[in-house]
Structure 1
């Protein structure tokens, strides 16, 4: 899957690493409601295409997953600032 890397020049590899790092940083630095989004722009940094057949859980299961994600943030980042805004507000 990553055989293309063997054919890339040092300069091309450095440029790719910079692009990948920028994408990872953008995702990492998400905050507030932006933590909960579909991220095809991040996945597009890979050479293979983004799969069009993404499966999503039904609403109740999806929302339980969102709640579990938020609870994990309380555990893993207990001192995180609170962004007390409704979706769509900045």
Structure 2
């Protein structure tokens, strides 16, 4: 799957690492309501193009997952700034 890496020069490999790091940083640095969104741009960093078939839970289970995710942030980052804004939408 990653055979293309074998043919890249050192400079091309460095460019690829920088591109991947930029994508990871963009995802890592998401904040506020952006934490909740589907991020297919991460998948687009890979050389193979696929249209992943995603499955979503029904609304009540989905919302319980959102609550658990937010609770995990309280445990993992109790020092995180609170951004008290409604989603503009």
| TM-score interval (norm. to shorter) | over 0.9
TM-score (norm 1): 0.92
**Structure 2 residue runs without a partner (length 5+):** none
Aligned pair count?
Answer: 89
Partner residue, 1:80? 80
RMSD of aligned residue pairs (Cα, Å): 1.3
Partner residue, 1:5? 5
Residue 68 (structure 1) aligned with residue 68 (structure 2): yes
**Structure 1 residue runs without a partner (length 5+):** none
TM-score (norm 2): 0.93
How do 1:1-90 and structure 2 match up within 5 A? Answer: 1-88=1-88
Stretches of 4+ moved more than 6 A in 1? none
